[in-house]
Structure 1
């Protein structure tokens, strides 16, 4: 009789998260309210993901954050907004309120969130009156209404004159199902279905074995994922606003305004782009506050999900060591990188600055040799039109495949120019090379004891690949696999 296996069963693979139809126009639901009433917690609960930063600190959310949610079988776009506060327009709170007002103006439904435990405050009443004047449908949500006492406290929200409040606890998930039903009931009716056009049939990707023609890139369908990274106050949010042509992100002289990673959509001549603005990355030793640690984690996660990273540097300050650390992080994650020298209009001696940057990159960032450099002024818009074409060009390099025949002809010539070194008194016997993947370009070398290849010979091969096959500015991975000698044990 066969014995039952006592080993642990393999864990089930997580099911892929459903996505809305590509190109669909989704109804917009904006989550609004004064600070610290739980808007971001509710946003995360509706979208089913921890997208927005949540902390026990008022005013964590500054920029609008968007996500999609499937509510009762209907896809919607949910917008988390900054807390509504009465402040002068030129202050940070005033700029945050202007951003929230813009989200409310474009919403099909506004969720006005109040704190049931704190009761109805004069600020709640003030903004309830303001919402009534906007002419948008409003659904009143009484959050933090846990248990019977919380439900009784939620009834105070009737005094706002916005109809019956929906009592929920976003943190504990209470009442969320009822809220989803209320949201879908109040949205405009869905448009009539249109017969889809005949789908385009894509030809299978051939193997890159032809001597002359490399296989096309294996980039999956979807928007180009582009992350904007850099130190605080380098002009990342200003650049995003300039690319969008609108004041989407809150900007100002204060460093560290952006706290979360904010994704927005735009398009260029070649297709859609998902553009992510991230929080500034400071030196690790200076990061102490828990909220900043969360911001940095969100920035790194956005970088991991990107295909190309735009590293924004303040040209008036030059390339700092922290800028190089960020570039090395981009290289370790295997992403394409474009260096943007912002505030170029404020640079006095441009030729000297450009040469200083080139020298610093040559000596401190040799693993990203040939990295594209674009000089711009995000404030005035000068040079910004060159950025997206440079991104598209770098993306093509990042996706490039080299034909196996051409690759091995180059490999043979490289071995003749510089023979493999001796390791433990025996010379490495490298036989052939193949490209195993793109994104970034990854090559595999086969040979006897190839896995013992010294680092300097690896760099020799990587630099040769970069120069011979035009692979500037992208990480190149070189893997080695040894072949077993059948007589080694005799």
Structure 2
């Protein structure tokens, strides 16, 4: 598919235009410059045109290993892989030396460059729009990403580029699908990849881990805590399994989150957890299971997501066997709601343990989608009640009649019983733990709902039909036939 990279210096409206093109608020937008740090990709729709669009970090005059320098290298990589670049300048501010430097960089890329003057609404932008001609990149487009102005003109300029790209792909035979595999509905496919969110505290190594998994420096990393701000989604085929990996911003304690931008970043990460299927909670081996780690893991469980706990920076540990025993004991004690969930040790820096992490993600996803036949469930329920009958509060006997699985993702079960409100929480936990153990569903959240079913005669109170009337009615039917 045709790919367009949106390029420009900080705070010219690149993320606002990106959100406008994809039709969703995927990228964080704020008046503060430099909000975007990573590359964010999305599928854009502009009239009948469909293409991939990349939101890039603002280009600054930095080429060292500082944070702006690393951001610049990521943007330069996006320019190199994109089929064309859309260069945004600010029509209200006018041209700056950085704009001229970016123009020179784009000329050397060898790819088509479209020039657009953003924030062109109103008379205050006329001078800046005319000044854009000085860059020598052709006639600029007058856009207003915030108000949606100039989108038709942008589509008209993009159309010949996209059509030419489609013709090239057709000649090369790209995009020809031989046939879909006959898989179960829940299994990941190219159209429905497995959604995996990596969450944790700042500086736990989330971006480094994802870079190691995909085999390239796609996400911005470094020693600074809190580099990632957006929740970045990356499509990747990991050992034959189509996945979509979400890198999220580090989540600190709520009391420490003061800045508006950090609040937006955290809320973006929480939204990624809600849309994920498997959540990898990444811990730092030096300081695991801090209170914020427990809150994040509990959040994923309450959202009903399959959870995998990964302990990073394992290559720095010396007494690994002793440390691993401590981790397992703390896991069972501090997160009983995730009993049996996978606990994997990894090193994002060296790549050790990634095969175990891959297997744990697939296993958790399979359990999360598991369905148990009703016949087996009712045999199990009979055995559970026989081994430990429910209590009889105030002399009222509670009868558990039958159980069925109502849903998956996560597994949800319904038990029909008498007096469901009188069933104590301890007995409910007894049934949930039995389901988890007997049907091999470790770690995944299990939903158990108790519904009432009366012992009363269903025909009680119904008006009886008199025998004489019933006989006349039957005779009348016979005559008609």
Q: Structure 1 length normalisation: TM-score? A: 0.88
1:112 equivalenced with 2:91 (yes/no): no
More helix by share: 2
| Match among 209, 215, 223 for residue 193 of structure 2 | 223
Of 439, 445, 450, the residue aligned with 2:409 is 439
What does residue 34 of structure 2 align with?
Answer: 59
1:75 is matched with which residue: 45, 50, 75?
50
- Give unpaired runs (5+ residues) of structure 2: 462-481
Whole-angstrom distance in 2 between the partners of 1:149 and 1:368: 58
Task: Please name the residue that 1:162 is paired with.
Answer: 137
Q: How far apart are residue 92 of structure 1 and its match?
A: 0.1
Partner of 2:107: 132
Does the aligned pair in 1 maintain the 2:188–2:242 contact within 8 Å?
no
> Match of 1:329?
299
1:83 & 1:270 partners in 2: Cα distance? 35
Secondary structure of the equivalent of 1:427?
coil
**Structural mapping, 1:10-29, within 5 Å:** 26-29=1-4
1:68-467 matches, within 5 Å, as 68-187=43-162, 188-191=164-167, 192=170, 218=186, 222-467=192-437
State the distance in 2 between where 1:144 and 1:105 align. 27
Q: CA contact under 8 A between 1:311 and 1:337: conserved in structure 2? A: yes
Question: Which residue does 2:18 correspond to in 1?
Answer: 43
User: In structure 1, what is the Cα distance between the partners aligned to 2:182 and 2:302?
Assistant: 32
Q: CA deviation at 1:220?
A: 7.5
| CA offset digits 1:265-298 (Å, max 9, x no partner) | 1113343101110001111111111111111111
1:217–1:400 Cα contact (<8 Å) kept: no
Distance 2:249 2:291 in 1: 18
> How far apart are the structure 2 equivalents of 1:245 and 1:220?
21
Measured against aligned partners, the alpha-carbon deviations of 1:347-367 in whole angstroms (never above 9, x if no partner) come to 122222212221222122111
Secondary structure of 1:337's aligned partner:
strand
Scaled by the length of structure 2, the TM-score of the pair is: 0.90
**Aligned-pair distance for 1:201?**
9.3
Structure 2 contact 94–127 (Cα < 8 Å) conserved: no
User: Which residue of the partner structure matches residue 479 of structure 1?
Assistant: 449
Residues 60-69 or 131-140, more deviating: 131-140
Measured in 1, the distance between the counterparts of 2:245 and 2:180 equals 26
RMSD (Å), alpha carbons = 2.0
The 1-side partners of 2:377 and 2:126 are apart by 70
Say if 2:90 and 2:128, in contact at 8 Å, map to a contact too: no
- In 2 relative to 1, CA 199–277 (structure 1 residues): closer, same or farther, beyond 3 Å? same
- Once the two structures are TM-superposed, the CA of residue 181 in structure 1 deviates from its matched residue by 2.1
- Shift of residue 381, structure 1, vs aligned partner: 1.0
* Larger Rg computed on CA atoms: 2
Q: Say if 1:218 and 1:124 are closer, same or farther in 2 by CA, change over 3 A.
A: closer
- Please report how far the alpha carbon of residue 53 of structure 1 lies from its aligned counterpart in structure 2 after TM superposition: 0.2
Q: 1:105 to 1:220 in 2, by over 3 A?
A: closer
Q: Aligned partners of 2:250 and 2:64: how far apart in 1? A: 24
Kept in 1, the 8 Å contact 2:328–2:343? The answer is: no
